[in-house]
Each structure stands twice: as structure tokens, then as C-alpha cells.
Amino acid sequence: MSPVIETNGLVKRYGRFTAVDHVNLSVEKGEVFGLLGPNGSGKTTTILLLLGLTEPTEGEVRVNGLDPLRQPLAVKSRVGYLPDQVGFYDAMTARENLAYTARLAGLRGTDAAGRIITALSRVRLADVADKRVGTFSRGMRQRLGLAEVILKNADIAILDEPTGGLDPQATQELLELIGSLAHEGMTIVLSSHLLSMVQAVCHRVALFNRGRIGLTGRVSDLTSAVLGGAYEVEVEASGADVPAVLGGAEHVTGIAVAGPGLWRVDADADVRPQIARRIVEAGGALKNMSIRRTTLDEVYVRYFQETKNQQEKKDAEAA
Amino acid sequence: MPRQREGSPFTGLSTIALKEAADHMTSARIHLVLLLILLTAIGAVYAAIGQIKATVSEDQFLFLSLLTTARDPLPSFVAFLGFLLPLVSIALGFDGINGEYNRRTLSRVLAQPIYRDAFLTGKFLGGLLVIAICLLALWLLVTGMGILLLGLPPGGEEVIRGLAFLLASFVYAGVWLAVSLVFSTLFRSPATSALAALALWLIFTIFWSMLAPLIASAFVQIDPYDPVSQLNFIELQRGIARISPQTLYDEMTLGLLNPTTRAFGPVFTSQLKNALMGSPLPLSESLRLVWPQLAGMIAAVVLLFTVAYVSFQRQEIRA
Ligand SMILES: Nc1ncnc2c1ncn2[C@@H]1O[C@H](COP(=O)(O)OP(=O)(O)OP(=O)(O)O)[C@@H](O)[C@H]1O
Ligand SMILES: [Mg+2]
């Protein structure tokens, strides 16, 4: 299957500053793809490049096999876009705003009216459909923006921080919505800072760092790449040299001291029975043991800590 | 970059133009400006009627003098219109593009399958539509007042001259609409673009006629004993003055509404051959006289529009 979205050596420079630096992305059909990274790492810029809303300095973009700059109409009619901090015409009602976009998107008459109702009820805005958008809260606008994407019935949805301004319940609903859209075959690219959300819905993620993609892959792959494992076991024991005892054990990918008599064991499987057996066999006393799946947050924090350390080392060497 | 595009550049054009016109028609800002125009128009025409009644002249073009007669301290209707039309245009266009940008609606609209040119052209046409409606209403109002208060219906030639004047006013307003749209693409802040447009308007309506002789004298030395040098000076001065759309518009109103006008520059005796002093020019001659001015203004609109197009086409839409 050929990818729906593909970029090749994509570069965007603003003067001497490189906002997007040789980005290669490839998103398959039906996939939910997450763009992650700290503020200013180039996620929004990449999204603008995908949509043809800004021109790349180098490299190329293919959406459905088309170039968004050369065939903008063909691309834009298949792609729905939710910008971060989406804006609407305040003097018009939610329904009127959507009707305007529907007409621009080439939908007319009763077909459009029906789709608008459906879209509004999917984001739970049907009861305020005829209220002026000027009276809407930030979260309601965000949901209206999502209704617009749904209305367009696009193959691809590109959502820039879709959870911005949403309360926890709305976030949860959004996740479910994204899930069901993906289930219907829509390809979704989203950027977010809410890692738990990304972890919950995204099949694959790309970690942006200073305009480059540092890591890309499935969440579980990333956790093992960065943290060495997908599980983290905290072991509290005495009377045994835990690192020595567990050294060479199967599935264990790393051991670190977490405190006096406390160790943190990274593993790519649930190794609790094994740990317990080994410690007891070595004559130690196992006091406590707890296991957690590592979250994307930890991957994120650890990854950017490492790159920062590396950068500092490089800077020091240069100086 | 050579670029081939697919799809009609007019996709969505009428949708945008109509939405734009509807927005203007309901905006308080435009209501204010139109009220101002309406009041001044009624005042000016009313004063002119008083003046005409007082002098009881046997004018062949009594109806046209309704538009051009001034009674101290009020200027004539055409003078008012020449002064206020740019204001209407600037009010219509100064936040055309940057307003959408600041409301964060631009990226949402441009993510729909339309070309950017369609958006710009739609904005322009929407403004023109409003101007056309207002001019027509104003024209009917003045005609009505003339018939009611003077009891005289306009003659056939007067109607044609009046409509030609209306067209000239329309194009003149179009120039200023294009100017304000250019500024709205060049400046991010609506306040800046409004100020820039108003500054240009002040320069052209008030200061340009004073500046033209100064600039001309920098290029041509006047020799008091050489009539040719004086003629050169006058020609150059007129040329410079005609850079201002205000000058072109004034000349057109003069040519159309004062049928006795034979030429705008210095008149040579050769031109007066076979001419009865003070006799009106036939309609076709008057139209031929003002044609270059009209063509010049249309060219200005095209030029300005191209500037707006080029600056908008390459802009990054990050909002
Ligand atoms: N017009 C511009 N001129 C110069 N630099 C720019 C311009 N637009 C963006 N940048 C820079 O490009 C970098 C990437 O910005 P971008 O908006 O893509 O970040 P982001 O990853 O979306 O951040 P956030 O998480 O805050 O939304 C930033 O450092 C920003 O300062
Ligand atoms: Mg961003």
C-alpha cells in the first residue's frame, strides 16, 4: 500500500533559522499519526507544508500522491484541517459558519444541510447550532472546527493540537471521536502535547526536535528505543546485590539505582516472578515490588533530556 | 517557480463575494459611512436646488447642474462624492485580508478547495457590489429629489451623462478599494493598513495638487520669454497631477457633467476652430474626452490588484 502522506527531505527556512529540517514522513491509509515535540520544534510548520499553506524551501510533499502546491484544489478537497486556535466568523451562527465552508467545499442544498446537522451532533453542538459563534467558549470553537472536518467527509484529517482548550470529558470524547473516524477509514495526523492522549489513539508517532524528526515509530517501539523497555519495575529489597543478581536475566534491559535499597528495572516483559525468584534465591529479602507500563511522557522527558545533554556536550566541545 | 494549476480559478468566487457583500451590508462601520454620504448628498443637492431656483437660468442641462452646483458654504454633490467615495472604499477594504488573518479564519477558509486568488477576487468583487448598490441608490435618490423639488425630469442625454458619471465614480471607488486591499495584504495590523490608506488618500486629495507644480519645477526650467518652456512645464505638471486618481476623477466629472468642457489642459486656438464658445460638446465627444482618464483608472485597478495578488500568493497562512 502506498502512503497517503509522504514527505521527502522537507526543509523550511525562515531567513537563517531552519524551522523544519529534512523531515521524512510517511503516513499510511487509515493510520492515526501523532506529531510530538516541544514548543517551536516545527510541528505546525510541517502541517502547513503538508497543506500547501506555506512553500517548502527544499524537498517535496505528496498527499494522495499529489503536490499540494501544484494541485491545491485536488488536495484540499480531500483534506480536512483544524488549525490550532481555530477562528470563526463571530457574527454568524455555528450553522451559518459551517454552511459557508460547505459551499466553499462545493456542497450545496439539502445534502449540505443534512451533513451540517450530522457533523454538529457528532461534536455535541447540535443544540447551539443557531447561536452566534461569538458566544462560544474556546472548547466549543474547537469542537466546531472538528465538525467542519467531519462535514467535509475528507479522507485525511490534519488536526493541530485538537485538544487545546478542551476539558477532560471533552478530551475523552474527542479521543473516541478520533478513534471512530479512524475506524471509518479516515487517515488522521495530529499534533499534541497531551502525551497520554497521543498514546491512547495514535498508531505511530514522530518525535520532533528542533525541526528534525528525532524518533518515529509505534509507541511501544519508542519506549524500548529510548527507555530500553516497555515496563518499569520498582524493586525494594535488602540483603542482596540486586544489579548483580539480575544481571543477564532474560527480558531485563536496564537497572538503575532509585534510592537506598531501591532499584528501577527496565524490562520488555513482565519480569516480576523472575526478579522475585532470583532475589530470594540469592538470599535477599524482597520488601516491595511494583510494575508500571512506561508512558510516552517518560519517553518524551528522557528523550529530550538526552538530546539536551548531547547538545550541551557538543557545545562544550565546540567551546 | 513555473507552476501549472488545475481546476477553475473561479471556484468559490461567487460564494466569497456574496458573503463579503452581505457582511458589509450588515456591518455598523459601513452603515456609519453610508449615513454620512447620504446626509451630505441630501444636503448638497438640497442646497443646489435652492441655488438653481434662485438664479432661474435657462440651462439646457439643468438636471446635471443639480450635481455640480455648489452653494456657499457647501460644496457640490460631485465634490462631496469625490471626497467621500475613497473613504467608503477604504472602510470596505482596509481589513479585508489581515482582518481574516487576525480572526484566524484565513487558514480555515484557504484549507477549502479554492484558490487564493478566488479569495482575493471575491473580497474585491464583494466590495464592488456594495459600492455599486450604494451608488445606484444615491443616484436614484438624487434623481428623485430633482424631480420632486424642481419638477423636472432629466433629459435623455442627461441620463446618459449621469450614468457615465456613475460609472466613473464606480471605477474611482474601485481604485481606492484596490488600494486598501493591497494595504490589507501588506500589513498584518488593520490599524496600520487603514492608516496607510488614509494617508495616501490625504496626500492625493489634498496635497497632490500643491506638490505637482513643485515636482514639475524640479525637472523643467521656466524661461519667462519662452512660451514653449512654459507649455512644457504645464504639460509635465498635468502629467504628475494625473498620477492622483483624484485628478482623473475631477477631470472626468468635469468632462461629463459640464458639457461645455472641450479639453482639460491648455486650449489651443486650433482646437477652437469651428467651435462656438460656450456651446456644449456633443455627448460622443465628451465621452471620447474622458475615455483616457477612465482607461487610466481601470489600469490602476488592474495594477493594484496584481500587487495584492503577488503579495498574497506567496504569503504563509499561519492563522
Ligand atoms: N514566520 C516565521 N519567521 C521566523 N520563524 C518562524 C516563523 N514561523 C515560525 N517560526 C519558527 O519556527 C519554529 C517552529 O514553529 P512551529 O509553529 O512549527 O512550532 P510548533 O512545533 O508548532 O510549536 P507549538 O508546540 O508551540 O505549537 C519556531 O521556533 C518558530 O519561532
Ligand atoms: Mg504548533
Gap from CA of B100 to ligand 1 centroid (Å): 20
Mean pLDDT for the stretch of residues B15-27 = 94
Residue A301 lies in a domain: no
C-beta separation of A243 from A226 below 8 A: no
> Is 60 exceeded by the pLDDT of residue B223?
yes
Mean pLDDT (whole number) for A281-307: 81
- Residue B5: closest CA among chain A residues belongs to which residue? A70
Query: Which of A54, A69, A81 comes nearest B111 by C-beta?
Result: A81
* CATH number, position A278: 3.30.70.100
CB contacts, 8 Å: B12 with chain A: 103-104
Least confident of A170-179, B199-208, B254-263, B272-281: B272-281
Give residue for cell 511522557.
A297
Q: Is A17 in the pocket of ligand 1 (CB under 6 A)?
A: yes
CB-CB neighbors (< 8 A) of A89 in chain B? 23, 103, 105
- At B188 the pLDDT is 93
SS (H, E, C) chain A: CCCCEEEEEEEEEECCEEEEEEECCEECCCCEEEEECCCCCCHHHHHHHHHCCCCCCEEEEEECCECCCCCHHHHHCCEEEECCCCCCCCCCEHHHHHHHHHHHCCCCHHHHHHHHHHHHHHCCCHHHCCCEHHHCCHHHHHHHHHHHHHHHCCCEEEEECCCCCCCHHHHHHHHHHHHHHHHCCCEEEEECCCHHHHHHHCCEEEEEECCEEEEEEEHHHHHHHHHCCCEEEEEEEECCCHHHHHCCCCCEEEEEEEECCEEEEEECCCCHHHHHHHHHHCCCEEEEEEEEECCHHHHHHHHHHHHHHHHHHHHHHHC
Q: What residues make up the domain containing A241?
A: 231-293
pLDDT for the residue B198:
95
| Contact across the interface for B111 and A85, Cβ inside 8 Å | no
Tell me: do A186 and A71 sit in the same domain: yes
CATH classification at residue A149:
3.40.50.300
Q: Are residues A144 and A195 in the same domain?
A: yes
Residue A259, in any domain of the structure: yes
How many helical (H) and strand (E) elements, i.e. helices and strands, does chain B have? 13, 0
- Are A167 and A205 within one domain? yes
In a domain, A72, yes or no: yes
Q: A210 with A250, same domain?
A: no
Read off the pLDDT band of B96 (50, 70, 90).
very high
**Residue B118 scores a pLDDT above 50:** yes
Most A CBs within 10 A among B1, B27, B98, B107, hence the mutation to make, goes to: B107
A304, part of any domain: no
B290 versus B268: the higher-pLDDT residue is B290
Burial label for A187, CB within 10 Å (0-12, 13-18, 19+), is: buried
Gap from B14 CA to chain A (nearest CA, Å): 10
Same domain, A134 and A270: no
**Ligand 1 within 6 A of CB of A239:** no
Residue A227 pLDDT: 67
Q: Are A64 and A139 within one domain? A: yes
Q: Tens of pLDDT along A48-73?
A: 999 999 999 999 999 999 999 889 99
- Is residue A85 in contact with ligand 1, taking CB distance under 6 Å? no
What is the C-alpha to C-alpha distance for residues B258 and B156, in angstroms, rounded to an integer?
15
Residue A212 has pLDDT above 80, yes or no: yes
Nearest residue, CB atoms, A87 vs list B23, B105, B114: B105
First to last CA, chain B: 25
pLDDT at B112: 94
Residue B289, pLDDT score:
85
B115 close contact with A: CB closer than 8 A: yes
Tell me the per-residue pLDDT of A2-31, one tens digit each, with 9 for 90 and over: 789 999 999 999 999 999 999 999 999 999
Nearest CA to ligand 1 atom 25: A39
The nearest alpha carbon in chain A to B10 belongs to: A104
Is B26 in Cβ contact with A53 (below 8 Å)?
no
Looking at residue B307, what is its pLDDT?
93
Q: Dihedral through CA A6, CA A62, CA A5, CA A47, nearest 10?
A: 100
What is the CA A193 to chain-centroid distance, rounded?
A: 7
Provide the number of structural domains found in chain A.
2
Q: Name which of B249, B247, B259, B251 is nearest B286 in CA terms.
A: B259
Tell which atom from ligand 1 comes closest to the C-alpha of A193.
Answer: 25
Same domain for A88 and A37, yes or no, is yes
Give mean pLDDT, residues B27-47: 90
**Residue A48 sits at the chain B interface (C-beta within 8 Å):** yes
Confidence of residue B281 (pLDDT cuts 50, 70, 90): confident
| Residue located via cell numbers 495526523 | A189
In this predicted structure, what is the pLDDT of residue B58?
A: 62
- The pLDDT value recorded for residue A13 is 95
The pLDDT of residue B279 is 72
The predicted structure's pLDDT at residue B108: 94
Distance A315 CA to ligand 1 centre (A): 23
> Do residues A279 and A240 lie in contact, with contact meaning Cβ atoms separated by under 8 Å?
yes
Mean pLDDT, rounded, for B199-220: 87
What is d(CA A285, CA A195) in angstroms, rounded to the nearest whole number?
Answer: 37
Tell whether A139 is covered by a domain.
yes
Looking at chain A, which residue has its C-alpha nearest residue B99?
A89
Evaluate whether residue A175 is within a structural domain.
yes
C-alpha of residue A300 to centroid of ligand 1, in Å: 19
Does residue A216 share a domain with residue A249? Answer: no
B18 CB within 8 Å of a chain A CB: no
Q: Say if residue B256's pLDDT is above 70.
A: yes
- How far away, in angstroms, is B317 Cα from ligand 1 center? 13
Note the pLDDT of residue B50.
83
Q: pLDDT band for B2, please (50, 70, 90 cuts).
A: very low
User: What pLDDT score does B75 carry?
Assistant: 85
Question: What is the β-pairing status of strands A156-160 and A187-191?
Answer: parallel
What is the distance between the alpha carbons of residues B13 and B126, in angstroms, rounded to a whole number?
Answer: 10
Which ligand 1 atom is at minimum distance from the Cα of A42? 18
Instruction: Kindly state whether residues A279 and A213 are assigned to the same domain.
Output: no
CA of A203 to the centre of ligand 1 (A): 25
What average pLDDT score do residues A305-315 get?
83
- Do residue A29 and residue A151 come from a single domain? yes
**A284 lies in some domain:** yes
pLDDT reported for residue A14? 94
Same domain, residue pair A260 and A147? no
B107 and chain A: CB distance < 8 Å anywhere?
yes
Q: In this structure, are A114 and A93 located in the same domain?
A: yes
| pTM of the predicted protein model | 0.86
Length of chain B measured in residues: 319
pLDDT digits (tens, 9 = 90+) for A87-126: 999 999 999 999 999 999 988 888 899 999 999 999 999 9
* A298 is a domain residue: no
What the block records as the C-alpha cell of B149 is 423639488
Q: Is the pLDDT of residue A1 over 70?
A: no
B108, B114, B119, best to mutate vs chain A, most A CBs in 10 Å: B108
Give me ligand 2 centre to Cα B104, in Å: 14
pLDDT of B275 > 70? The answer is no
Give residue B1's pLDDT.
Answer: 38
Cis peptide before B190 (omega within 30 of 0): no
